[in-house]
Amino acid sequence: MAILEIKKAGDPVLKQVAEPIERLTKRHRQLLDDMAETMYSADGVGLAAPQVGKSLRIVVIDVQDEHGLLELVNPVITMREGSVVDSEGCLSVPQVYGDVERAERVTVEYTDRRSRRRTLTAEGLLARCIQHECDHLEGHLYLDRLDRKNRAKAMKELRAQG
């Protein structure tokens, strides 16, 4: 296992649409392990492969609930229901937070590390995290979803970090 460098806002890899995994190999499983270790060491609840410089549709999530560590390969959100605004942050945008509107409940279909197709319905923090990480795979940061006022505030805080 290895701790990977987390790319920060402004890195072009975060703007790319990530590539699907055609066939899961040992190399992808290694990436899943490294991403989980990187996420835990940064005290994060989710990490998408583009954040460690790999433009691949791979996500790890652990919101410290009964699901434990979730490893999502090629995740697709197939249902969104309700709407809720809450504070959100991102390991690629350190120490900056903003209020983002997200669906309250989502269903996500994905492949696990053993190439089994799975379906998960989630709400609360897990639902928010799934949407946030899936956004990364489309080249979007949560900053893109802030309203104008909050976006300006977040960008100012980001610039202040240098």
Nearer to Ni ion, 14 or 73 (CB): 14
**How many other C-beta atoms lie within 10 A of the C-beta of residue 134?**
22
Q: What gap in Å lies between CA 113 and CA 101, rounded to an integer? A: 30
Task: State the Cα–Cα distance between residues 85 and 70, nearest whole angstrom.
Answer: 24
Nearer to Ni ion among residue 4 and residue 90 (C-beta)? 90
Q: Least distance in Å: CB of 91 to Ni ion?
A: 6
Residue 138 makes CB contacts below 8 A (sequence gap 6+) with: 17, 18
Known catalytic membership, residue 5:
no
**Nearest residue (CB) to Ni ion, 31 versus 90:** 90
- Contact mark string toward Ni ion, 90..129, x via CB under 5 A: x---------------------------------------
- Positions annotated as catalytic residues are 133
